[in-house]
Amino acid sequence: MTVESVRPAAPEVPEPLEPPVAGGRVPLLGHGWKLVRDPLAFMAQLRDHGDVVRLRLGPKTVYAVTAPALTGALALNPEFIIAGPLWESLEGLLGKEGVATANGSLHRRQRRIIQPAFRLDAIPGYGPIMEEEAHALTERWKSGETIDCTSESFRVAVRIAARCLLRGDFMDERAERLCVALATVFRGMYRRMVVPAGPLYRLPLPANRQFNRALADLHLLVDEIVAERRASGQKPDDLLTALLEATDDNGDPIGEQEIHDQVVAILTPGSETIASTIMSLLQILTEHPEHADKVREEVESVTGGRPVAFDDVRKLTYTNNVVVETLRLLPAVWILTRRAVADTELGGYRIPAGADIIYSPYAIQRDPRSYDRNEDFDPDRWLPERSKDVPKFAMSPFSNGNRKCPSDHFSMALLSLLTAAVATRYRFEQVSGSNDATRIGITLHPHRLLLRPLPR
Ligand code: HEM
């Protein structure tokens, strides 16, 4: 008997299965019309068809992942990269060399450069700016006057991201311009992504001209910020200094284009996601005054009535849970995409090389298989004794793996502080003309939330 003959036979690996095709497709458009007509409902019902399902979008097959564990496996496997038509259209507008669209070694290097600015121990350094902006916001609002939550949320989000990460006095005026440019660019970008009618967007129509002006101003602003910092000779400990001092794998300074694209790639997701979440939080505080009251009680029990400070945030468990629960039901990033670089499998299903894969944090985080009373707003579900029952990867508003949002700690700190500051000062009612239906764009947020703040 040879040694070979006693070696146990390798266990048989079953052939990966072809994922089922989701029901409800129509000739020519496939599932596309449902995806465009009501994307949230469409993504939410896909799990009934399987953990991985195939969708036909026109002539194309796209793979949708619907089970939390498999979205985790997808996000954690770097063999699934950022690519596809959605990303190509973003690159065309925002630049090809930023961290949000790069892959492979360029992406790894870029993450190494930006990561220190977002580390947990770096966040208290931003505390004074977050505090100042949160209180300035509540000061700006006057009891009884209508506030347009879209512009107010965008404004404070851009100001905080720009002032914290690109420090400097000049940021006050620049933040205002950035705000206007980014809001217009995001609206136009989504239109261009869902209706990729190239030549139409080159026509000299007012909407196209406005979009082009805003995009040009965004790039110009970023150039001005970089040039001014260089001219000042100052090197404060911030993200911009990290980018200006960064070197590539050969030890050479990184190129001008990469610095520019990096600033754009950080400011754009940074402001849109935060602004959308602030709008959703204001909507929740208005719809659920009982939770707003509990936030206020908690804040006052910690502060004794003085204005809430950054250092109080870690003691505000309930407030933090209101933010988490808002991110569960209304995750700013509602859809994510990846592309398979090689033939592979996911959950026993075959995924061919080059396949585009999508999944929806919105659908995953509302799935009744993962959450009891899944549609209810219930911040206490995040108390330790209850949150332990939430399946792994069923709550990932910041994603996982190598593309996980670098700003999760930054975002949570600033959103909790803002919620605390706003809820202690005001309660809210919607005014006529307000439309709080969910608007689907690059991010999710209420359509046009108009609120009247009333004193506490
Ligand atoms: C990536 C969510 C705030 C910068 C991401 C991703 C998600 C996300 C889900 C992963 C995308 C993917 O997997 O394809 C959010 C949410 C936020 C938020 C829900 C706030 C509520 C911010 C802020 C900044 C930021 C404030 C910067 C100031 C980025 C960047 C990436 C990213 C640069 C790309 C990371 C990479 O590809 O390596 N974000 N984000 N985000 N986010 Fe955030």
Complex-level ipTM: 0.99
Q: What does the pLDDT look like over 343-392, one tens digit per residue?
A: 999 999 999 999 999 999 999 999 999 999 999 999 999 999 999 999 99
Question: 218: CA distance to ligand 1 center in Å?
Answer: 19
- Both 89 and 125 in one domain: the answer is no
In a domain, 311, yes or no: no
- Both 10 and 141 in one domain: the answer is no
In a domain, 326, yes or no: no
Encode the chain (456 residues) as per-residue pLDDT tens digits.
444 555 666 667 788 999 999 888 877 778 888 888 899 999 999 999 999 999 988 788 999 999 999 999 999 998 999 987 777 777 877 888 889 889 999 999 999 999 999 999 999 999 999 999 999 999 999 999 999 999 999 899 989 998 899 886 666 777 788 888 888 888 888 777 766 667 788 888 898 999 999 999 999 999 999 999 999 998 988 999 999 999 988 889 999 999 999 999 888 888 899 999 999 999 999 999 999 999 999 999 999 999 999 999 999 999 999 999 999 999 999 999 999 999 999 999 999 999 999 999 999 999 999 999 999 999 999 999 999 999 999 999 999 999 999 999 999 999 999 999 999 999 999 999 999 999 998 899 999 999 999 998
Q: What is the pLDDT of residue 74?
A: 97
Question: 154: CA distance to ligand 1 center in Å?
Answer: 16
Q: What is the pLDDT of residue 188?
A: 85
Question: 32: CA distance to ligand 1 center in Å?
Answer: 26
- Both 372 and 442 in one domain: the answer is no
- Both 138 and 164 in one domain: the answer is yes
Residue 100 beta carbon below 6 angstroms from any ligand 1 atom: yes
- Both 74 and 203 in one domain: the answer is no
- Both 238 and 105 in one domain: the answer is yes
Report the DSSP pairing between strands 356-359 and 60-65.
parallel
Question: 433: CA distance to ligand 1 center in Å?
Answer: 32
- Both 278 and 421 in one domain: the answer is yes
| CATH number of the domain encompassing residue 363 | 1.10.630.10
Nearest protein Cα to ligand 1, atom 22: 270
| Domain limit, last residue, from 396, 413, 435 | 396
- Both 139 and 269 in one domain: the answer is yes
Nearest protein Cα to ligand 1, atom 38: 403
In a domain, 329, yes or no: no
Q: What is the pLDDT of residue 2?
A: 47
In a domain, 363, yes or no: yes
- Both 123 and 256 in one domain: the answer is yes
- Both 121 and 150 in one domain: the answer is yes
In a domain, 75, yes or no: yes
Q: What is the pLDDT of residue 139?
A: 96
In a domain, 259, yes or no: yes
Residue 453 beta carbon below 6 angstroms from any ligand 1 atom: no
- Both 169 and 239 in one domain: the answer is yes
Residue 81 beta carbon below 6 angstroms from any ligand 1 atom: no
Q: What is the pLDDT of residue 73?
A: 97
Residue 277 beta carbon below 6 angstroms from any ligand 1 atom: yes
- Categorise residue 87: left if φ over 0, alpha if ψ from -120 to 50, beta otherwise: alpha
C-alpha 133/C-alpha 305 separation (Å) is: 19
Q: How many domains does the chain have?
A: 2
Nearest protein Cα to ligand 1, atom 7: 398
Q: Which atom of ligand 1 sits closest to the CA of residue 414?
A: 26
Instruction: Determine the residue of 106, 167, 273 to mutate for testing ligand 1's pocket, defined as the one with the most ligand atoms within 8 A of the Cβ atom.
Output: 273
Q: What is the pLDDT of residue 254?
A: 92
Q: Which atom of ligand 1 sits closest to the CA of residue 98?
A: 33
| Domain limit, last residue, from 376, 396, 416 | 396
| Domain limit, last residue, from 344, 377, 396 | 396
In a domain, 405, yes or no: yes
In a domain, 324, yes or no: no
Nearest protein Cα to ligand 1, atom 29: 405
Q: Which atom of ligand 1 sits closest to the CA of residue 338?
A: 14
- Both 220 and 362 in one domain: the answer is no
Q: What is the pLDDT of residue 40?
A: 96
Residue 270 lies in domain:
97-304+400-456
Residue 357 beta carbon below 6 angstroms from any ligand 1 atom: no
